[in-house]
Amino acid sequence: MAVNLLKHPAIGKLFPFLAWKGMLDATTLRIDILAGITAGLLSLPQAIALAVLAGMPPEYGLYTSIFPVIVAALFGSSWHAMSGPNTALCILISFSLAPYASQQTPDWVQYAITLTFLAALIQLTFGLLRLGVIFNYFSHTVMVALVTCVGIIIILQQIGNLGGLIVNNGLPIEDAFLQAIYNFHFVNPYALAVGVSTLVTGMLIKHYRKNWPHLIISVVVGTLLALLLDLLFGSANTRIDKLGTLSLSAFPFSAPDFSVQHFSEAREGLLSGAFLVAFLGLMQSAVIARAMAVRSGQAININQEVIGQGLSNLAGSFLSCFPSCGSFNRSASNIESGARTPLSAIVSAFALAALVVFAAPLVRQLPVAVMAGVLILVGMGLVKPSDIMHILRVRGDSRVVFVLTSLTTLFGGLDQGVFLGIALSIIIYLRATSKPEIEILVGDDARQYLPAEVESGTVLQISGSLFFGSLPALERVIGDVGKQDHFREILVLSGEHIEHLDATTAEFLAREAARRKNKGGRMILWLRNHNLDNLILESGLRTALGDENIFYSKAG
């Protein structure tokens, strides 16, 4: 009885991990455990670096790389996409909270946790209302522009830290960059040597040894150089800043704070920031899940993926985590390691937790310049010249959308870039759906739609959706045909590939049919089946055409 209950569809929706539990044979367990351990080791430097990027103490990056990862793996849809701290979200968190607190202070941390909770509620609302499908319609061009600009922002923001300078990350990027340039004479040469060695090591390893963990190796090289410089010249002379205190807890409980003291003054920023974080996080998670599905052949349930992300952030808000979402780097390395199920993500979280217990003393000694070098490497990894050149070479909307989104993100802020990207994606989608495919058929292709007694006529094959938004395009084509034949000949509409027809368009077709009949012409309509019968009857289209002028390619 228990087995039958577990197989019930409702139970499967509540506990999606039951769908892959049966796949865990001995071979899969071995592969997933090895892949998870590898992912856990590789995520350590990135977790710390992204926490710094988000303005959070390093330990919060570790928490965010553990707890939300487990929840998303259990309740998400994708078997290969992995969640955790995300570069774009970290930049957005920093922008959203900068007006209200200083980085790494208790107020900043509390705001970040409240932001996580609010974003989780928004994501869960989308999932429960089954609105996850909308994230399939966001332009790839917009996503490339946002990710590219995030990479550029990271690189420019970390130039100061690379040389041991203190730069205000709350400034616009052009001001932060200029601040670093103007203060160049204050650069700490020891810190700069450490940062550059980290950066160059990572670049060389990534170029010549693609399968090696370039982030870990670069951190080791930079940290060892810092220790050597301290030993040779003395830490009082080198003045290389370290991450310092790392306060870890096995169960780091937290809670969002909506008190007057901690919420009212930042309410506007937190609410708008939560919407942006939720939206951008789901956009990236959907893109990553689809990309992994293409490689694995798995059928993805986007709504379930949205719910999984919402639950992971909800749990994270009570376990000292800042907002997380799908991770490009983690997911790619996960599937390349041969992982078969989300067990690998769960194992990676536990592997990282075990590593942190032993590595905490070493983490405290990581130089800030090393973290800056790692973040610049992460930023460089987000900038894909081939993708950018491909978009810029294509004429049309993509090029304009890319440039507008990029400029807005760089000089207006990531929040405005996201809003513009959302608007442009909607506009692109509406433009695409408002232009049904209309083709004039000739020869045998046209002959099959003409009645036997008719020798000639104009046959238009229509595909797509016919609704009020696409009506102007249809009116224009039918109007041009009418000008040529003076509405006195036969016009056949091959509508077997019409996906949707609304009342406004049906009424327009009824008027055209009546006009042709009055001029001595005739309009014929072909449909795939009888699904639209009620609509064409209620709109008057059946009466205007006459039953003898309506044909169906299928009986049902």
* pLDDT value of residue 488: 86
The chain-wide mean pLDDT, for the chain, equals 87
Q: Where residue 383 falls among pLDDT bands split at 50, 70, 90?
A: confident
DSSP 8-state secondary structure symbol assigned to residue 430 = H
94-99: average pLDDT: 90
Instruction: State if pTM tops 0.75.
Output: no
The single residue listed with the structure tokens 């087995």 is 3
Residue 50 has pLDDT above 50, yes or no: yes
User: Which domains, and CATH codes, for the chain?
Assistant: 23-429 (no CATH), 437-552 (3.30.750.24)
Alpha helices in 383-539 (DSSP H): 385-393, 397-412, 414-433, 443-447, 471-485, 503-519, 533-538
* pLDDT value of residue 4: 56
**What is the percentage of the chain residues whose pLDDT exceeds 70?**
94
* Three-state secondary structure call for residue 242: strand
* pLDDT value of residue 356: 84
Residue 2 has pLDDT above 50, yes or no: no
240-253: average pLDDT: 82
DSSP 8-state secondary structure symbol assigned to residue 530 = S
Q: Where residue 7 falls among pLDDT bands split at 50, 70, 90?
A: low
Residue 325's beta-bridge partner residues?
84
Q: Where residue 171 falls among pLDDT bands split at 50, 70, 90?
A: low
Distances (CA, A) of 375 to 29, 173, 241, 473: 33, 15, 16, 49
Phi then psi for residue 83, to 5 deg, are -100, 180
**What is the percentage of the chain residues whose pLDDT exceeds 90?**
42
Residue 142 has pLDDT above 90, yes or no: no
For residues 168 and 176, what is the distance between their CA atoms, to the nearest angstrom? Answer: 7
Bridging pattern class, strands 437-441 and 490-501: unpaired
- Least confident interval from 61-70, 104-113, 359-368: 359-368
* pLDDT value of residue 294: 65
